[in-house]
């Protein structure tokens, strides 16, 4: 079975935990887009692991974890993650595979990302990890790939070409002193030595696995509304976070995908700038942020919080071909008297029941809510669906009814045990 896990909101839905659970039954786990802007937090035996690039499935013995061609790899970040895993006694040799076609994040990408943000009138609030500039170079056909890192002659030539143009831009546009060829060349040759054993043709490896009927899990990073095409552009990331990205970013044909599972938080969060129709007012925003520990895993920035927005998730179900939904962090809603689900937006007398991509509507539209009663008791204890408080079951049933999709997994805490599989 080949399954794609995809975020249905603005990322941080809790995909890491679902991926960790489902990885147990899989043979291969594949990252297909994004880079170290992502952050998956997985808690195992009270130990917390934060992954930015390596699929969290690496925590399971014997699983092959791939960083696909669609990912942009910051070698400094990758080496750090490898070292953390090794220091924790987790052996990754023979299990970590990095696509030779994945593009490299270079020091100038990170600096350019940060400098551009300072110049923008309408900031995106990027993670500053160089993601946008790296993907821009890929599309501009001047990017440097993993395979180039393995060939010092090609690497030297490409780096020289890039610095020739980029240093001019840095100096003239940004008044930045630019980058030294020798320093980057030396630093990256060290990464080459450190990473060469992991670099291979992951698309060949994965297609062989498909032929052998192995099970593959494709782990999406970010979420549908950060997707470069279908997100709240320009407040998006620079990759195809939606399920279609899994095929492009791994080299596996769409006809080989069996299922797409969507992941949604029981409410909504967003890091960075951009419209957020169902956002809470400030005091309640802070209350839920603290209760749900809503701080970015990559940058530590406070996440903005809001009600569950069914208009968004419905669009995500359509775009990704989602047949099952996992609802995360339901326990964060414990003890609230009233819960709200956003079912439409209203702007200038017009009702929007499907997602409006017009920034003006998204910014100024008034969310319309369905209100429901909350539950008093904590959700940490229930391990079976029937043991959930009846109002929690009603909340989930209402979401299923609006979205016309089955909720198959409910998460009520960060550990693997605090997960309910709905019959
Ligand atoms: P970038 O991906 O660093 O270019 O940032 C673009 C936008 O995507 C910003 O609003 C970021 O906060 C957001 N973003 C990027 N990665 C993640 C993620 O893993 N979770 C949540 N938001 C993200």
Residue 268: give its domain's CATH number. Answer: 3.90.170.10
- Does residue 225 carry a pLDDT above 90? yes
Per DSSP, 48 falls in state E
Indicate if 270 and 248 belong to the same structural domain. Answer: no
* Whether residue 369 is found in the same domain as residue 357: yes
pTM for the whole structure: 0.96
pLDDT at residue 298, rounded to an integer: 79
Q: Are 6 and 322 in contact (CB under 8 A)?
A: yes
Burial class (CB in 10 A: 0-12, 13-18, 19+), 370: middle
Asked whether residue 4 carries a pLDDT value surpassing 80, the answer given is: yes
Q: What is the rounded average pLDDT of the residues 383-412? A: 96
For residue 190, the model assigns a pLDDT of 97
Q: Is the pLDDT of residue 392 over 90?
A: yes
Q: Rounded to whole angstroms, how far apart are CA atoms 109 and 142? A: 12
Claim to verify: residue 281 and residue 394 sit in the same structural domain: yes
Identify the domain containing residue 217 by its residue range.
Answer: 2-100+199-260
> Distance (Å, rounded) from C-alpha 72 to C-alpha 9?
22
pLDDT digits (tens, 9 = 90+) for 184-204: 999 999 999 999 999 999 999
C-beta atoms surrounding 400 within 10 Å:
15
What confidence score (pLDDT) does residue 138 get? 98
Instruction: Give residue 278's pLDDT.
Output: 98
Same domain, 148 and 79: no
How far is Cα 386 from Cα 1, in angstroms, rounded to an integer?
29
Q: What is the mean pLDDT of residues 297-301?
A: 84
Ligand 1 atom index nearest CA of 299: 12
Confidence of residue 49 (pLDDT cuts 50, 70, 90): confident
Last residue of a domain, one of 242, 260, 278: 260
- Rounded Cα distance between 246 and 210, Å, is 14
Pocket around ligand 1 at a 6 A CB cut-off: 10-12, 37-39, 124-127, 129, 131-132, 221-222, 226, 235, 237-238, 271-272
The residue with greater pLDDT, 295 or 299, is 295
Residues 300 and 367 in one domain: yes
Residues 277 and 412 in one domain: yes
**Helices 152-174 & 107-119 angle (0-180, nearest 10):** 20
CB atoms within 10 A of CB 61: 8
**Domain count of the chain?**
3
Atom of ligand 1 nearest to the CA of 128: 3
* Alpha-carbon torsion angle 382, 384, 387, 393, nearest 10: 100
Do 120 and 168 fall into the same domain? Answer: yes
* Domain final residue, candidates 213, 235, 260: 260
Peptide bond into 237 cis (omega under 30): no
What is the band of 379 on the pLDDT scale with cuts at 50, 70, 90? confident
Mean pLDDT for the chain overall:
95
Is the pLDDT reported for residue 43 higher than 80?
A: no
Say whether both 60 and 124 belong to one domain. no
| CA–CA separation, 32 and 18 (whole Å) | 17
Q: Do 365 and 347 form a contact (C-beta atoms < 8 A)?
A: yes
pLDDT of res. 122: 85
CA–CA gap between residue 399 and residue 392 (Å, rounded): 11
Cβ-proximal residues to 71 (8 Å cutoff; 6+ apart), any chain? 31, 32, 33, 34, 35, 53, 99, 102, 249
- Model confidence at 145, pLDDT cuts 50, 70, 90, reads very high
* pLDDT for position 171: 97
> Residue 152: helix, strand or coil by DSSP?
helix
Q: Select which of 20, 27, 40, 93 is catalytic.
A: 40
Q: Note if 12 is an active site residue.
A: yes
Write the pLDDT tens digit of every residue in 120-134: 888 999 999 999 999
Q: Tell me, what CATH number does 48's domain have? A: 3.40.440.10
Phi first, then psi: what are they for 295, rounded to 5°?
-130, 135
Residues 76, 183, single domain; the answer is: no
Q: Find the CATH number of the domain harbouring 137.
A: 1.10.300.10
Average of per-residue pLDDT across 13-31: 94
pLDDT per residue as tens digits for the range 265-290 = 999 999 989 999 999 999 999 999 99
Same domain, 169 and 96: no
* 35-54 average pLDDT score: 84
Residues 82 and 225 in one domain: yes
Last residue of a domain, one of 260, 288, 312: 260
Same domain, 21 and 108: no
What is the mean pLDDT of the segment spanning 56-85? 94
Q: Which 3 state secondary structure label does DSSP give 401?
A: helix
Confidence at residue 292, expressed as pLDDT on a 0 to 100 scale: 96
Total H helices, total E strands in the chain: 13, 20
- Direct distance between the N- and C-terminal alpha carbons of the chain, in angstroms, rounded to an integer: 20
Nearest CA to ligand 1 atom 16: 37
Q: Cα separation of 74 and 129, whole Å?
A: 8
* Distance from Cα 202 to the centre of ligand 1, integer Å: 25
Nearest atom (ligand 1) to Cα of 131: 4
Give the length of the chain.
423
pLDDT in tens, 241-269: 999 999 999 999 999 999 999 999 999 99
């Amino acid at each position: 079975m080949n399954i794609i896990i995809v975020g249905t909101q603005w990322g941080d839905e809790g995909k890491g935990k679902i991926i960790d659970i489902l990885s147990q039954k899989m043979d291969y786990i594949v990252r297909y887009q994004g880079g170290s802007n992502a952050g998956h937090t997985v808690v195992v035996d009270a130990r917390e692991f934060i992954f930015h690039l390596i699929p969290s499935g690496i925590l399971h013995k014997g699983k092959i974890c791939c960083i696909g061609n669609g990912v942009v790899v910051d070698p400094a970040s990758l080496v750090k993650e490898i070292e953390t895993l090794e220091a924790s006694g987790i052996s990754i040799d023979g299990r970590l595979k990095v696509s030779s076609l994945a593009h490299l994040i270079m020091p100038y990408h990170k600096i350019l990302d940060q400098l551009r943000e300072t110049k923008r009138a309408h900031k995106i609030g990027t993670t500053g990890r160089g993601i946008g500039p790296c993907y821009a170079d890929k599309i501009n056909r001047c990017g440097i790939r993993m395979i180039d890192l393995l060939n010092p002659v090609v690497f030297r030539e490409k780096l020289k070409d890039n610095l020739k143009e980029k240093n001019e831009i840095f100096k003239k546009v940004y008044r930045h002193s630019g980058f030294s060829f020798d320093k980057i060349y030396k630093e990256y040759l060290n990464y080459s030595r450190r990473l060469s054993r992991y670099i291979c043709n992951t698309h060949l490896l994965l297609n062989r696995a498909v032929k052998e009927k192995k099970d593959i899990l494709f782990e999406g990073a970010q979420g549908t509304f950060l997707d470069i095409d279908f997100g709240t552009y320009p407040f998006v990331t620079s990759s195809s976070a939606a399920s279609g990205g899994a095929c492009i970013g791994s080299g596996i044909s769409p006809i080989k995908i069996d299922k797409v599972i969507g992941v949604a938080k029981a409410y909504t969060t967003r890091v960075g700038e951009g419209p957020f129709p169902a956002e809470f007012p400030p005091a309640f925003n802070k209350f839920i942020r603290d209760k749900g520990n809503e701080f970015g895993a990559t940058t530590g920035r406070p996440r903005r919080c809001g009600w569950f927005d069914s208009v968004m998730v419905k669009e995500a179900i359509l775009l990704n071909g989602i047949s099952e939904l996992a609802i995360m962090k339901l326990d964060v809603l414990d003890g609230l008297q009233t819960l709200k689900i956003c079912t439409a937006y209203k702007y200038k007398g017009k009702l929007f029941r499907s997602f409006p991509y017009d920034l003006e509507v998204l910014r100024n539209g008034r969310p319309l809510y369905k209100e429901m009663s909350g539950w008093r008791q904590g959700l940490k204890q229930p391990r079976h669906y029937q043991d959930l408080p009846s109002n929690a079951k009603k909340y989930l049933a209402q979401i299923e009814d609006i979205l016309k999709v089955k909720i198959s997994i409910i998460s009520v805490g960060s550990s693997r045990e605090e997960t309910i599989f709905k019959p």
